[in-house]
Chain A
């Protein structure tokens, strides 16, 4: 049985596409068959993050409109034989398809793949409705900033209203140095506000920029963000992976030692 996951955030630029690319690639690395669907019609980007922009012939809208067969629009990944990308149309807009058509498309992919991952566009309009229509599970990506968290909270409400029961949080772009100085909200602060189960914490890592420049997802590679994304994939596969300590407390042990550190810092201050 396949799992349909939508990666969403509300706010733009918090890392939806990066998360989609890396989670999809990581799951393929774990031996799963995965299709990544770029649901951002008109502003496609998942193809460039994956480094597959030169191979696009047909896209999602072509499939829905019947201009090509489903298989023709699936682009095979460079490195993983079990990973495919269905690109979005670039010259159309989000209103050219309906949620019903998306559900039909997803259902036709369910047999073939273990995971169907949808990269949702920013915003809460038609594009969002299309992207979440066929999803069983949502990953909300946010950064520890007021604007991103506010939008995430709105999105969580909309996901609940659309009866998506399983909603997890990925906290992106954390900076340990800022958290230690008290100038960035901690993982616990954000969890406290949004009240979602935590799926992953991804540190702010320059390797993400480098990987995007090169069009190669960094999941599993020897970098902080690469490891964090790989841990997300393992958790999706049902494995228990402890969360890394980001300045303060996540597991019971780090919570304990975090308290100790905090006291020390206060004494010094």
Chain B
């Protein structure tokens, strides 16, 4: 065990927070983490038809604090962060 592993060790509160974030996504929209993974792969496939993307570092998540819906209620949004690879390189 080197000195860096002390810094890297996750505290149990961090573990709890990480677990909750994943758990609540599936709870909120009744969508399991596996299904999110499938959605992510499908999006990557479609987008990569048109441009070069970095599918390994893309993120897809559902967050609650989206835009307001028709009756002013917060709507969940599907948020995708897809890095586009620069073709000039």
Which residues does A use to contact B, with CB under 8 Å?
144-146, 149-150, 153-154, 157, 160, 179, 181-186, 189, 192-193, 195, 266, 269
Contacts and interface: CB of A to CB of B under 8 A. Distances in A.
A195 B12 CA distance: 21
Given A160-B73, A193-B20, A193-B24, A182 B14 contact: yes
Contacts of A160: 73-74
B75 to A, nearest CB: 10
A146 B12 contact: no
A269 B9 CA distance: 11
A145 B23 CA distance: 13
23 contacts: A144-B13, A145-B16, A146-B16, A146-B19, A146-B20, A146-B23, A149-B20, A153-B24, A153-B27, A181-B11, A182-B11, A182-B12, A183-B11, A183-B13, A185-B13, A186-B13, A189-B13, A189-B17, A193-B20, A193-B21, A195-B64, A269-B6, A269-B7
Contact of A193 (B6, B11, B17, B73): B17
A150 B23 contact: yes
Contact of B27 (A154, A179, A185, A189): A154
Contact of B13 (A154, A157, A182, A195): A182
Contact of A185 (B6, B17, B24, B74): B17
Contact of A184 (B13, B21, B64, B65): B13
A189 B18 CA distance: 10
Nearest to B12: A183
Q: Which 8 interchain pairs have the tightest Cβ spacing?
A: A182-B11, A185-B13, A183-B12, A146-B16, A153-B24, A189-B17, A182-B13, A184-B13
Contacts of A184: 12-13
Interface in B1-51: 6-7, 11-14, 16-17, 19-21, 23-24, 27-28
B13 A179 contact: yes
A183 B11 CA distance: 6
A192 B74 CA distance: 16
Given A145-B16, A146-B20, A186-B13, 16 more contacts: A144-B13, A144-B16, A150-B27, A153-B24, A154-B27, A160-B73, A179-B13, A182-B11, A182-B13, A183-B12, A184-B13, A185-B13, A189-B13, A193-B21, A195-B65, A266-B7
Contacts of A186: 13
Contacts of A150: 20, 23-24, 27
